[in-house]
Chains A and B, each alone.
Chain A
């Protein structure tokens, strides 16, 4: 028997909802099994494709557990293995493959029954896995390999960008690397334009791996397709990033909703947020912040506050918050240029935009800018989409907005107010979707989570986080055991629209000169040459 079709055992019991129990042959050791590995089950009429979700030990007679035999005796151990004591694996069948001609044409189908008693169970071969996850092509992007296999697992990017997606995982588990990979995939396949709110300045230009090694980012790999915008010119210059645009935002662009969103981070009271709307009405939409901050302690102000029915402590609270905002150096009373217009110009040309935050990794700045820009961009897209519907012209190119620390935007308190909540919910109607990156998925509103198309999750160990990521997935408990046993680096569980079944992958290599070369399509000869030069430099 060759490695390709390694027999594991036979099906002994099971159900469609709970998966099937497989008794291992004595030749197959439980210690060689691993949760998340793929198996095929040869039913009488169909072949089933499933994943190992649990491994357990069984004894034929309970007495064995009470008076254990002397297994230091190799003879005893050998006799008992596979007979009196045996291993079982729990397999969740997900798909049926092969069988008849029709199913061969249609590819893998989702499973609607279970294999019959005592069907043979084999380890899935490379070919089976390829059949299920497909090869790399124009719209499929190779993201990693299944555990212990060399086959490529590919994501259907066209499906992916139709809905909002999430990348989750504890800090340091490789979210950034995964995100970078996905962004490259979208760039490479051209399925969508990206707008990345890059809090830690790691997607546009160079980033660092966990081992403090420099890794290249989007602009270096695809110089003609990526524009780097920055909020912090100085930081960008110091890091020798060639930026395309310095973003400045005027006070006049901040709206009451933006302040509402910052309630938690600025420590504002509910009353202060209400007061913002009143001040906004009072001073007009262009200069309300300036005007509020210019108010001097005096009778006039008192009268004004009394007229607007704003309590003094509320006013103090609000003022403190606004002062914090005013201290953000990229905010000017009047911005010389309109960043939204520029971003849209680039996006329209199919150029992806990465907005670096430089030193301003403060969450206040991030929320404020991301929300402010996104709202306007979304409004533009909405307008264009409606126009496209009305005039029967091509709809705008799909846009994917990447946000980090998503639970700050999408928690249940603010998700109904922010634009991100709206985008996550109304999904693809306006061709704008989100790529949400977060380490605390339990903080994200359930409704938003449930609308996500594909979720990619690295290791999570908080019970609540795991629950919220897996909410609404069938066979949740089984995936749970897979998820909590992921290795802390380079491994991720993917499930949702873009893959036919949940899959644990070892993430594709990223960071070596060789890997860069693979990402770059052959027509980009210039960057290819650069990659080749990099390889040469490595050897010097």
Chain B
């Protein structure tokens, strides 16, 4: 299974995971999972950051005399140890036993829980119902709603043979959820059309 990181911060709504390698965070909108005892939490990646380990210490520009970006990292190998990549995932559902639920789990993720990228089969199973879109739309997050919804649907559609049919079905669901906000609907549809 594709392990992409480890939980370092968790709340009911979302969890933050640190990648094992710099810049190795999963793509925006992809579906990840982590485990808390018998409950498997599903999240949608909505944000990713790469920052310095020490909050007060900002990186400085080093490439003035270098010919390529790669050369910068080669000249200062310590950089890889001073920077970290993290990503945040919005919890959109969970699996308890055999049952898949499209709502928040009873408890948040555990710190140091391993985070995996979901397999195409899991994505397919989860996206049989569009109930998760409601959480994705209504939770207040620093990333624009239309961007995260569109990214999520684009990612999910990749596991389907008939991408268009999936996106049309999702679009219809969105049209109902966003019935009062046509501009936002239009923005999302513009971002997911094939």
Q: Which residues of A contact B168 (CB under 8 A)?
A: 75, 78-79
Interface pick from B43-51, B105-113, B175-183: B175-183
Residue of B nearest to A78 (CB): B168
Residue of A nearest to B176 (CB): A83
Interface pick from B59-67, B79-87, B138-146, B186-194: B186-194
Q: Which residues of B contact A76 (CB under 8 A)?
A: 189, 193
Known A75-B167, A78-B168; judge A84-B185 contact (CB<8 A): yes
Q: Are A63 and B183 in contact (CB under 8 A)?
A: yes
Q: Which residues of B contact A73 (CB under 8 A)?
A: 193
Which among B164, B168, B172 has the greatest number of chain A C-beta atoms within 10 A?
Answer: B172
Q: CA A220 – CA B158 in complex, angstroms?
A: 75
Q: Which residues of A contact B185 (CB under 8 A)?
A: 84
A interface footprint on B143-180 (CB within 8 Å = 1, 0 otherwise): 00000000000000000000010011001101110011
Residue of A nearest to B185 (CB): A84
Q: How far is the CB of B194 from chain A (nearest CB, A)?
A: 7
Q: Are A26 and B172 in contact (CB under 8 A)?
A: yes
Q: CA A64 – CA B168 in complex, angstroms?
A: 19
Known A26-B172, A83-B172; judge A75-B179 contact (CB<8 A): no
Q: Are A75 and B176 in contact (CB under 8 A)?
A: no
Q: Which residue of B167, B179, B193, B194 is within 8 Å of A84 (Cβ)? A: B179
Q: Which residues of A contact B175 (CB under 8 A)?
A: 60, 79-80, 83-84
Residue of B nearest to A85 (CB): B175
Q: Which residues of B contact A84 (CB under 8 A)?
A: 175, 179, 182, 185
Q: CA A76 – CA B168 in complex, angstroms?
A: 8
Main secondary structure of the interface of A (DSSP, over half): loop
Q: Are A79 and B172 in contact (CB under 8 A)?
A: yes
**Mind listing 20 A-B residue pairs with CB under 8 Å?**
A60-B176, A60-B179, A61-B180, A61-B182, A63-B183, A64-B182, A67-B183, A75-B171, A75-B189, A75-B193, A78-B168, A78-B171, A79-B172, A79-B175, A79-B189, A83-B171, A83-B176, A84-B175, A84-B179, A84-B185
Q: CA A60 – CA B179 in complex, angstroms?
A: 6
Sort A-B residue pairs by CB-CB distance and give the 6 closest, nearest first.
A79-B171, A83-B175, A75-B193, A63-B182, A60-B179, A61-B182
Main secondary structure of the interface of B (DSSP, over half): helix
Q: How far is the CB of A210 from chain B (nearest CB, A)?
A: 48
B interface footprint on A228-261 (CB within 8 Å = 1, 0 otherwise): 0000000000000000000000000000000000
Q: Which residues of B contact A64 (CB under 8 A)?
A: 182
Known A61-B181, A64-B182; judge A82-B193 contact (CB<8 A): no
Q: CA A69 – CA B193 in complex, angstroms?
A: 14
Q: Which residues of A contact B174 (CB under 8 A)?
A: 79
Q: How far is the CB of A78 from chain B (nearest CB, A)?
A: 5
Q: CA A79 – CA B192 in complex, angstroms?
A: 11
Q: How far is the CB of A28 from chain B (nearest CB, A)?
A: 15
Q: Which residues of A contact B179 (CB under 8 A)?
A: 60-61, 84
Q: Are B186 and A69 in contact (CB under 8 A)?
A: yes
Q: Which residues of A contact B189 (CB under 8 A)?
A: 75-76, 79
Q: CA A75 – CA B192 in complex, angstroms?
A: 9
Q: CA A60 – CA B181 in complex, angstroms?
A: 10
Q: Which residues of B contact A61 (CB under 8 A)?
A: 179-182
Residue of A nearest to B193 (CB): A75
Q: Which residues of A contact B171 (CB under 8 A)?
A: 75, 78-79, 83
Q: Are B172 and A75 in contact (CB under 8 A)?
A: no
Q: How far is the CB of B108 from chain A (nearest CB, A)?
A: 34
Residue of B nearest to A26 (CB): B172
Q: CA A60 – CA B194 in complex, angstroms?
A: 25
Q: How far is the CB of A118 from chain B (nearest CB, A)?
A: 15
Q: Are B186 and A75 in contact (CB under 8 A)?
A: no
For chain A, residues 61 to 94, give those with C-beta under 8 angstroms from any C-beta of chain B.
61, 63-64, 67, 69, 73, 75-76, 78-80, 82-84
Q: Which residues of A contact B186 (CB under 8 A)?
A: 69
For chain A, residues 191 to 236, give those with C-beta under 8 angstroms from any C-beta of chain B.
none
Q: Which residues of A contact B180 (CB under 8 A)?
A: 61
Q: Which residues of A contact B194 (CB under 8 A)?
A: 75
Q: How far is the CB of A70 from chain B (nearest CB, A)?
A: 9
Q: Are A75 and B182 in contact (CB under 8 A)?
A: no
Q: CA A339 – CA B75 in complex, angstroms?
A: 127
Q: CA A79 – CA B166 in complex, angstroms?
A: 11
Residue of A nearest to B181 (CB): A61
Q: Which residues of B contact A83 (CB under 8 A)?
A: 171-172, 175-176
Q: CA A372 – CA B175 in complex, angstroms?
A: 72
Q: CA A76 – CA B193 in complex, angstroms?
A: 8
